[in-house]
Amino acid sequence: MMSIRHVIASPVSGRTIPLDQVDDEVLSSGLVGEGQAIEPSDGTVLSPADGRIVRMASTKHAFCMLTDDGLEVLVHVGIDTVGLAGEPFEAKAATGDHVTCGDVVMKADLESIRQQGISALTSVLITNYDDDEEVTAVQSASDEIRAGDPLLVVCK
């Protein structure tokens, strides 16, 4: 029987979408990691766990964190948003900062992103789970999720 080792919260509110349905080959193939995508309804992006920001992208569209219990989590806002050069994003945390689950890490101007014809789909990926671990999405009946609600579990 598998036991839960990690619980990762949703960094945004919105509608969940299985990662394999994301219109981006690198994300949908699981090449970067396993996880879940969310079509955000709000541009406030929270920390999905307690841990340290190990990298805030210079374009502020993504961050990677190492949780206090050793899991690497990548939060990537939008598809092809790196080309926006950080314009619709405001970082509220920086590389090296320790954050608590629920702390605001960044803000994204979703309207501005979408007006440019770019998807705001936000991916949450676990990038360092062990071969004997399984990453599972926590699905709600409506596929709607609130920021801070459980999104992923890693079981061993």
**Residues belonging to the active site:** 76
Q: How far apart are CA 93 and CA 45, in angstroms?
A: 11
Integer angstrom CA distances of residue 86 from 58, 63, 80, 93, 143: 7, 13, 12, 14, 29
User: How many angstroms separate the first and last alpha carbons of the chain?
Assistant: 8
